[in-house]
Structure formats: C-alpha cells, structure tokens
Structure 1
C-alpha cells in the first residue's frame, strides 16, 4: 500500500477539522433548513472515513465507536430529509435508498446492536410510494430493503427477486454491479456460502478495476464487501474474502 501510519493520522486530523467546520456552519445558522439533511449526511460520511482510518491503524475500538457516531448522523440526515419531503413535495428522494444501504453498512461495521436495530427499522419502514415516484430506480429501493430484511433475520426471497427483476439491463455498468449485489444478497438470505462468495468476488473485481493508488487510505477498503462479509459471519457463514481490500481487523469478534 502506498500510505504510512503518519499519512492516516494526518487524514484523521484533517477530516476532523472539516467536521468541526461543518458543526460551526450549522451552529451559526449558515445552513438553510432545507439543506440541513445534506450537512448531517456529510458529517456521517466524514465520520465513516475516520472509522476506516482507525481500522487501518489497527484501533478496533475507535473504529467501531466512530462508525457508531457516523450511523447516528446518517439516521438524522435521512429523517430530516423525509420530514422535509412531507412539506415539500418537490424534495428529491431518489438516492435515499442508497443512503439507507450505506447506513446499514456503517451500522454493521460499528458492532452497535442498538444502532443496527434502528437502521434496519428505518430502512424497512421506508415508504413503498418511492416505487411510484421513481420508476427507473426500483433496484435501489429493493437493494436497501433486501439487505435490511436479511439483517432483521427475515426471509428476503420476494424482495431479492424484485431486485432481480428491476435491474436495468440497458446500463451495463449498473447491471453488472447490481447482479453482483443480487448474488450476494441471495447467498446471504439462503446461507449459501458459494453464492455469497461469488457475489463478493464480483464486487471486489469491480472495486479493483476502479481502484486508484491516488485516492487515499480510505480507498484501500471496499466497505460494501467488508460489510457483507461481516453480515455473513453474523449469520454463521464461513465467508471472508482473501483480499487486501478486506482487512482482518473488520472481522467480527467470535
């Protein structure tokens, strides 16, 4: 890898200053109410990055605590946006399912069971009216819903098959990525280790193809695959990809 511990520490300190600036902007009233959800989500993303950095430094406790804080801001951001949509019909909710999926991943990596329960509840409660409003992106909705159901221990077969039927085959990049997600979710739902591993292998190949040594330390961790691998372990499956993008420190405690 092309970074040192000093590089990672420097990234942590720099990202902390960005978070402090964001808090100050909010406290000073510089962030309009209709943009507050974006600011909260941005803080969550920055905290997620710091969580990854702590993982790369080998500090599992700080890593998990920071992921937990990140999850709380994702939740706050989503709730603020959904509240805004109640009063502003023009509020665009198209990407909310992907934010919810990101929240689920962060919650899984935090090992915070209360946070995970809240994240699952929020995702499973996301209104299906989304399907009427955004007919071109059903696959995003079903992806988040299926993952939440699996984390809740609910049979997700119907939702997984809805995901399969909604993958847009006219977009090769999206179709390829979501077919890998589909295999992963099918495997997780049915406890099929081979199917899960095949899906994760495809996701890792996609990540590696786009990986750049210039993107910094956080880019050395494939968060979706790590979260799915942790999910598999939580479900009693012997699945853990042998990849430098899936560091051992993220493996759950036995």
Structure 2
C-alpha cells in the first residue's frame, strides 16, 4: 500500500493539476477538434482516480463531487464519440471504459447522471463486443445497468454472462465469475451469494496487486467491489465487507 497519506495527497494534487490543465486547454481551444472526445473521456478517468484516492484516505463524502464530475465528462466523451462516428463500432476499450463510467455514475449518487450512464450502456450494440471477443463485458455492463434501472432484463444478461465464463482466457473466469455471482446476489436479494462473489473478487484483487511497487488508485480501492456494495446497500441488503480495499466510510456513499 502507499506508505503514507502524504503520498496519496500528492497523487490527488497531481491528478487535480492534470484535470485543471485539461479544462483550461478545452476552454482556450488548444485541443484539436478530432481529439475532443478522447480528452473528454480522459477527464472522466482523471476525476475517477481523484475520487478513488480520496476514498483511500477515508474521505468518502469529499470524493462524491469527483465521481459526479467523472460521470459528467465520461458522458460528454461517450456522446461526442458517437456523434462523430462514421460507422458503428466499439471504440470504448472493449467495454472497460463504459464499465468504469457506470461505476462513477453509481458512486456519484446522482439519479440524472446515473440515467445518462445507463442510457449509454443500453445504446451499445452487442455485435461490437463479439467482434472484439469482449461480449462478457457487454453482458456485465448491461446486467449492471438493467439492475440499476430495474428494466427486467437483468437475469437475461446475467445468464448470458454466465454462459461466456468457461471460454474466457487466463484469470478472466475468476474475475467475471465473481462479479456475476455478486450481481446475481443483488438481483436475487441473496446476501450469501453476494458476499461469496465479493470474497472471490477480493481474493483475485489481492492476488493481482503488488502494493510494494504499485500505487495506482485501482490498486488501493477495489472499484468493482465498492460499486456493488453501494448498489446492494441502496437496495436495502444487509451486507458487509471487511477489506483494506473497501473504505470504512462506504455508508457515506449509500
């Protein structure tokens, strides 16, 4: 883990400076027109990192505006990208960026931002993900969005996600299998299934994070687990997670 709060605060200052530089560049017209969507998405990513570092300090309330700003800029980036697209294609890193967008929107606690994020998820075409062999992310993203908006499609996407697990490479079955189980627990209101899935994911996280050498925001706070815990508690589930990767102040995000 980062060796001191001072180092975390320096990370926050660094990303805040980069974010402000991005805003100034946009306001002053220094960003080439063709790069604007990418810069918008980058601003969303920076806001998320700042929020995660604040969570690592236990400052959940202070992190909420950063997740709100993150969701706002992710939305601008997604909308701008799709408006400029000449042909339908998946240009959001195989769904990973859209998943991170959904995480920020959920943690923002803002219903309007969450509606925008789920709208972007629902507009995505499954065929794109088949093309890039990331259809598992498509179904995870849409299962999450459908759970948030209670569309009735949650179980369909969870079933489709489960069907992809055996064919995934490397450690992907553990990663996505754990998220499938935890989200299934939310949909079924099965607290034991939820906690089992969360435990499996945290085991994966612990095995894949080297705190002696890594100091990224995603190392310090397990974003998928945090998001699912917040979602479950908002839904009235009595679940708890005891982990150094989930801040003790998580109730402030519910």
Calculate the TM-score normalised by the size of structure 1: 0.89
Per the alignment, in what secondary structure is the counterpart of residue 136 of structure 1?
Answer: coil
Tell me how many residue pairs correspond in the alignment.
Answer: 251
> 2:119 matched to 1:121?
yes
Per the alignment, in what secondary structure is the counterpart of residue 167 of structure 2?
Answer: coil
Unmatched segments (≥5 aa) in structure 2: none
Q: Aligned residue for 1:95? A: 93
Cα pair distance change 1:38/1:192, threshold 3 Å? same
Deviation for aligned residue 1:109? 1.4
Deviation for aligned residue 1:131? 5.1
Contact persistence 1:64–1:111 (CA under 8 A): yes
Q: Aligned residue for 1:154? A: 151
Q: Aligned residue for 1:34? A: 34
| Whole-Å separation in 2 of the counterparts to 1:43 and 1:165 | 35
The counterpart of 1:136, out of the listed 133, 138, 144, is 133
Deviations 1:14-69 (A, max 9, x none): 11121123234434545333332221111111111111222233433321011100
> 2:242 matched to 1:215?
no
Q: Aligned residue for 2:67? A: 67
Cα pair distance change 1:217/1:100, threshold 3 Å? closer
Q: Aligned residue for 2:84? A: 84
Unmatched segments (≥5 aa) in structure 1: none
Further displaced range: 71-80 or 52-61: 52-61
Deviation for aligned residue 1:149? 0.4
Further displaced range: 96-105 or 140-149: 96-105
Deviation for aligned residue 1:153? 2.1
Contact persistence 1:142–1:160 (CA under 8 A): yes
Cα pair distance change 1:247/1:253, threshold 3 Å? closer
Q: Aligned residue for 2:103? A: 105
| Whole-Å separation in 2 of the counterparts to 1:168 and 1:22 | 42
| Whole-Å separation in 1 of the counterparts to 2:129 and 2:221 | 32
Q: Aligned residue for 2:248? A: 248
CA RMSD of aligned residues (A): 2.3
Contact persistence 1:181–1:203 (CA under 8 A): yes
